[in-house]
Structure 1
Amino acid sequence: MKKLISIFIALLSLFFGMSVTSAFYQLTIFPRTGYSWVGDPMPYYDGNKFQVFYLEDLRDGDVGFHPWSLFTTNNFYDYKNEGVVIRYSQNEFAQDSALGTGSVMQEKDGLYHAFYTGFNWRKVPKEAIMHAISKDLINWIKIPGDKFFASAKYLRNDFRDPYVFYNDDYKEYWMLITTRTKNDKGVIALYTSKDLKNWADNGVFFDNDMGNSANMECPTLIKYGEYWYLTFSDQWPNRVVHYRIAKDSKGPFTKPQLDFFDSNGFYAGKLVKDSQNLYLCGWTPTKGGHSDNNKTDWAGNLVVHQIKQRENGELYPTPVEQVVENLNNNIKLKPITQTETVTASNEKYTFSAKGYEVVTFPKIQGVNKITGKITKKSKEGMFGFMFNVGEYDIASLNIAFNPKSKEVKFFNVSTDKIATAKSELTVPLDVNDNESLNFTLLIDDSVAVLYINDKVALSTRMYALQNHQWGIFSINSDVTYEDLNLSKF
């Protein structure tokens, strides 16, 4: 029934151009509405469930764009879509003719506060920090008088993405803002307040330390265990979510050896925690014309990583525990084709390193969890997963491990060409000889996210993923796949 309701509302939107705001439910791990796409998430935990506000990309050609919309969930696989909760102005000259990223918090008296970016490309300055209040997180009242612009030390057209929280260590409200200094360098500014209405500029909170001048978008600052974590997304050149570590909320912040969680298939990630766990909510982009061969767009599907902590304070991404626990309906994998040089026994497949070898499986459909273990004997060759398998057991979409370059790569080219082709997405992965690679691959809609060895994640968009055969492959690599398992809800 839930699925039928979702389809019905999506069809209404398609045929009548409606901006649908009626609540409906989805059983999904990478949600979007069906008639729009998810931009920058702004997650908030209310003590009971996660309220994932986001910039809704309707792509409807209206005078304004990107209202704040809302998903709620207790588990990151069963979502309620509350629709639009904060609208942009229909006045083309209003400061908030488009809404930008911000954050939500609750004051001690129970009132909820949303701070967001008001954007209008027709105005100078283009960006301002704006304020709205609510008693229930659904119905919001804008407070136009609380709007403010960048102080003189910052570039006024780059002043956005307010992240607000009460800093109990310093007994004041903090607001981190993405901006640029007069020498045109991206920084994160700190504003402080005692009343959530009057904000004082406390100068640069964090200087760009990436060796470039890029903006550091969508910052979050959160304490987890003994450490404070600052996250941000570099607007260029890499477009990945970075993090820094400190013992005090004011820093100094240190850069970990691996300072990001995923490739640029995952952007604008913001941290949120409940009483025990830490999560990172971002989005995986669509592509123009819904074609694998086109460039990426802005916005896509919501993707959530669970974030875990090592003893030294460093973080790493894993699949959300509640998601993997509930994808527990095992489906027996029966190969369709198998290269003669591959040895098979139960769910174990051993490749001989003699050229191009494959094992293919039936069509991918719906929400899937694929798990297993890969063991390699040498650094030679490449191996991985293939999707949209076609003629001659060659696929057009491939996730490949390259032990020699110490990387995992996504290729939007046929499997027989990946040895010399340029990859579309890349994450580093350094493993010792004979070390096993334990993996979880989550698939929903046209999104697939691969988690490897409690080290990295790789989020990808593949339009030809669903309803096509998939497989595992090796190119001159003596590698073994075992405990291969596929499961669904």
Structure 2
Amino acid sequence: MKKKSIALLGLMMCLVSGCADKKMDECLFPRAEESYVGDVMALSSDDGVYLNYLYETDNNGVGYHPLHQFYTKDFLKFRDNGETLKFAENSELQDLAIGTGSFIKDDSGKYHCFYTGHNDYYDVYGLDKECVMHATSKDNKKYEKNYEEIIHAPNGYSTTDFRDPQVYHTDDGYIMLVGARKEAEQESAIIYYESQDLSNWTFKGDFYTSKELYFMECPDVFKLGEKYYLVFSWNNVVYYRMADSFFGPWEKPEIDTFDGNGFYAAKTCEYKDKRYLIGFLDRKKRENDSLGYTWAGSVLVYELRQLQDGTLGVCMPEQYNGYFDKELKSLSAEDESMDLGKVPETCHLSFELTMQEGGACSLDFSNPDSGEEYKISIDNEKDIISYNAFPNFQPVKLETGEKYQIDVVIEKDIVVVYAGGVKALSNRIYSAVGGDWKLNIQGAEAKNVKIYGK
């Protein structure tokens, strides 16, 4: 969860991208008007997915980050359902600010929200800075808090870094994962609790620990095929681990990330027999491509796939193909440089890429109005996808001589490159809007280069 913000640009930054209406509006990377999307907590059902998230405005007061909600049936249209959980207005209450949690529906039909209660004045009021809290709802619209069910960090664990509960229904009851930090060991930990009724929880111990990262935010476990996967985030990067059972032991894959350092706080949900990884893509203040990313932005959804070796890949959601249903341009791939022109502000660029050893492929952007020139590269020698305005990259290994489907989805200033269902790189590229695009290849072959629109 993000610390309290200081207002910089406020409402001048609204409507940078995404849809901003109360009705079901078409867009791929939504955010509400005059706000930004923080950590996303998905709850799926037979009739759709509810995306609860931390609501950020850049002009926070003493209390901040209420939970708001989007609803979608297909990740193509989203309805803004507004606020579902308020932060406390009394500075002496635990949840003066709200942090990440999870949503679950019990067997009786009641909805439960477990979330982080964060108070920046903990040293004044004698409160733990972060605790796990519980709220319930009959309709999944407005949640009522139960201040008598606060869970504090166990002895030996930090009361400053104790957050992001994730709850699962099991054959024996319920399990809750919580991000924590072991003080004496100076070690990050994901710990777990068990419960029979979602109200009384018993601490069981460490679920997974690591000395590589200071903290592991937004933990989530799921099964895909015969494997179990643990997803968590830190320092603007989403990581994962693999295991043969729910409780591990957890193995770190050679490349343990999905995207670069603009996609964050992702957790998963299953919907219509597919597993989705849902987080947010940061934005940049002052809409300056050369600046680093700032916390909160727009919803970003990946479809997860299990690769032959058991590792995870991310790809463009299949339904995007039907969303972009008009072929606007088809290009010959015989030249090393292909002029794509000024692509529509919402479109899908698609091509088949075959790399030679040490080959490279790049999308180059030049904006005549701003004079800026940047590029996204897929480099088979360095084994990365990279963006060179403010450096952002994702390791990827594309086999020499193998054909990969490359998809690039553009929606205003958001550009997401999906590399063969293996890895992706998402970016805000403000200068790409209205700019001239080129596809350059060296030591590679690009075929069936097409641009699709709405």
TM-score (norm 2): 0.90
Give, in angstroms, the shift of residue 63 of structure 1. 2.2
1:280-295 matched pairs, under 5 angstroms: 280-295=277-292
Describe the shift of the 1:388–1:67 C-alpha distance in structure 2 as closer, same or farther (beyond 3 A). farther
Does residue 404 in structure 1 map to residue 381 in structure 2? yes
Residue 397 of structure 1 deviates from its aligned partner by 2.2
SS at structure 2 position matched to 1:56: strand
- 1:386, CA displacement in angstroms? 1.4
Q: What is residue 243 of structure 1 aligned with on the other side?
A: 240
Secondary structure at the aligned position of 2:24 is classed as strand
Partner of 2:104: 105
Equivalent residue, structure 1, for 2:438: 471
Matches within 5 A, 1:64-463: 64-123=63-122, 124-168=127-171, 171-182=172-183, 183-208=185-210, 212-235=212-235, 239-332=236-329, 347-351=331-335, 358-379=337-358, 382-390=360-368, 396-412=373-389, 424-463=391-430
Read off the aligned partner of 1:484 and give its amino acid letter: V
The change in CA–CA distance for 1:212 and 1:478 in structure 2 (over 3 A counts) is closer
Distance 1:31 1:431 in 2: 31
Deviations, residues 364-406 of structure 1 (Å, cap 9, x unaligned): 33321110023344525x4310123449xx9622101222212
Give secondary structure in 1 for the equivalent of 2:158. strand
1:42-70 CA distance string (max 9 Å, x none)? 01102220111110111223221111110
Identical positions, percent: 29
The 8 Å contact of residues 231 and 244 in structure 1, kept in 2 or not, is answered as: yes
64-73 vs 53-62, greater mean Cα deviation: 53-62
- For residue 258 of structure 1, report the CA deviation from its aligned partner: 2.5
Secondary structure class of the residue paired with 1:289: helix
In 2: Cα distance, 1:468 partner to 1:437 partner: 26
Q: Distance in 2 between matches of 1:154 and 1:14?
A: 39
Task: Indicate the residue corresponding to 2:8 in structure 1.
Answer: none
CA distance in 1, matches of 2:258, 2:54: 22
> In structure 2, do the counterparts of structure 1 residues 486 and 108 end up closer, same or farther at CA, with 3 Å as the change threshold?
same
Change (3 A) 1:180 1:376: closer
CA distance in 1, matches of 2:382, 2:84: 47
State how far apart, in whole Å, the 2-side matches of 1:316 and 1:105 are: 26
Residues 128-150 of structure 1: CA distance to partner in whole angstroms, max 9, x if unpaired? Answer: 11111011111211111111211
- 2:380 maps to a residue whose letter is P
How far 1:14 sits from its partner (Å)? 8.9
**d(CA) in 2 for partners of 1:388 and 1:295?**
20
Q: Is the CA contact (8 Å cut-off) linking 2:42 and 2:269 kept in structure 1?
A: yes
Aligned residues: 434
Partner Cα distance (1:213, 1:398) in 2: 30
SS of the residue corresponding to residue 239 of structure 2 reads: strand
d(CA) in 2 for partners of 1:213, 1:80: 36
Counterpart-to-counterpart distance in 2, 1:79 and 1:130: 28
Checking the alignment, whether the CA contact within 8 Å between 1:30 and 1:303 is kept in structure 2 is: yes
**Cα distance in structure 2, aligned partners of 1:304 and 1:480:** 29
CA distance in 2, matches of 1:14, 1:460: 17
Q: Is the Cα contact below 8 Å between 1:178 and 1:218 reproduced in 2?
A: yes
Question: 8 Å contact 1:39–1:283 — kept in the other structure?
Answer: yes
Decide whether aligned partners of structure 1 residues 86 and 350 sit closer, same or farther in structure 2, where only a CA change above 3 A counts: same
Q: Report the alpha carbon displacement of residue 481 of structure 1 after superposing the two structures with TM.
A: 2.5
For structure 1, which runs of at least 5 residues remain unmatched after alignment?
1-11, 16-20, 334-346, 353-357, 413-422
Question: What letter corresponds to residue 94 of structure 1 in structure 2?
Answer: L
- 2-structure distance, mates of 1:370, 1:467: 16
Kept after mapping to 1: 8 A contact 2:131/2:153:
yes
How far apart, in 1, do the equivalents of 2:64 and 2:318 lie?
A: 35
After superposition, the C-alpha distances for 1:456-483 in whole angstroms (9 at most, x for unaligned) are: 1111111122222212124xx2433221
For 2:148 and 2:414, locate their aligned partners in 1 and report how far apart those are by CA, in whole Å. 42
Separation (CA, whole Å) in 2 of partners of 1:197 and 1:361: 57
User: Unpaired segments of 5 or more residues in structure 2?
Assistant: 1-10, 15-19
For residues 196-250 of structure 1, what are the alpha-carbon distances to aligned partners after superposition, in whole Å with 9 as ceiling and x for unaligned?
1111111111011xx5242010011122332222111123xxx321122222212
SS in 2 for 1:324: helix
CA change 1:14–1:373 in 2 (3 A) is closer
1:40 aligns with 2:19: no
Look up the equivalent residue of 2:332 and give its one-letter code. Answer: K
State the distance in 2 between where 1:27 and 1:405 align. Answer: 37
Residue pair 2:354, 2:400 contacting (<8 A) in 1 also: no
Contact 1:372 1:482 in 2 (8 A): yes
Match of 1:7 in 2: none
Q: Is the 8 A contact 2:355 2:398 kept in 1?
A: no
Q: For residue 165 of structure 1, report the CA deviation from its aligned partner.
A: 1.1
C-alpha displacement of 1:287:
1.0
SS at match of 1:325: helix
Query: 1:238-281 deviations in whole A, cap 9, x for unaligned?
Result: x3211222222122222223222111121111011024100000
Counterparts of 2:318 and 2:361 in 1: how far apart (Å)?
27
Counterpart of 1:319 in structure 2: which amino acid? Answer: M
Please state how far the C-alpha of 1:25 moved relative to its aligned partner.
2.7
TM-score, length-scaled by structure 1: 0.84
- CA separation of 1:307 and 1:107: change in aligned 2, threshold 3 A: same
Q: d(CA) in 1 for partners of 2:286 and 2:118?
A: 27
| Structure 2: distance between partners of 1:72 and 1:34 | 15
Structure 2 residue identity aligned to 1:37: Y
Where 1:157 maps in the other structure, the secondary structure is coil
